[in-house]
Amino acid sequence: MRRVVGLFFAVIFMLLVPTLVPAEGLLGLGMPWGSSWGQASSGCGSCGEPGAFFGAWGKCCPAVYFGYNIQQNTSRTPATFGLTNRGDFAEPLGTNQIALTPSDPSGFWLGVSQSCRVGERLGILVSGWYLFPTTSDAAEFYDPTPFPVVRQAPILVGDPRSWSSNKSEGWIDGALVLGSTCGLNLIGGFRWDSLNIQLKNPVALPGAVAVRGTPADEANLTANWYIPFFGTQACYGGPCCGLLVRVIGFPWVPGTVSYGETGFYAPGPRLDVAASFNRAAFFEAFAEASSNCAGFGCLGIFGRFNYIDGTATTNPTLVGAGIPLSSYDFVVRRSSWTIGGRVALNFDMPF
Domains of the chain: 2-16+52-345 (2.40.128.90)
Residue 294's pLDDT is what?
61
Q: Which stretches of 159-313 are DSSP H helices?
A: none
Residue 244's pLDDT is what?
93
Residue 256's pLDDT is what?
97
DSSP string, 89-148: SPPGGG-SEEEEEE-B--EEEEEEEEEEEEETTEEEEEEEEEEEEEEEEEEEEEE--SST
List pLDDT tens digits, range 116-152.
888 888 999 999 999 998 888 998 887 654 434 444 4
Residue 35's pLDDT is what?
28
Residue 45's pLDDT is what?
37
Residue 87's pLDDT is what?
65
Residues 6+ apart with CB under 8 A from 144: 90, 94, 96, 151, 152, 157
Residues 6+ apart with CB under 8 A from 23: 29, 30, 31, 32
Residue 42's pLDDT is what?
34
Q: d(Cα 106, Cα 71) in Å, to the nearest integer?
A: 4
Q: Pick out the chain residues at pLDDT < 70.
A: 1-58, 74-77, 87-96, 143-158, 207-210, 239, 293-296, 321-322, 346-351
Q: d(Cα 43, Cα 145) in Å, to the nearest integer?
A: 64
Residue 267's pLDDT is what?
78
The CA–CA distances, whole Å, from 80 to 138, 168, 332 equal 9, 15, 6
Residues 334/307, Cβ–Cβ less than 8 Å:
yes
Residues 152/93, Cβ–Cβ less than 8 Å:
yes
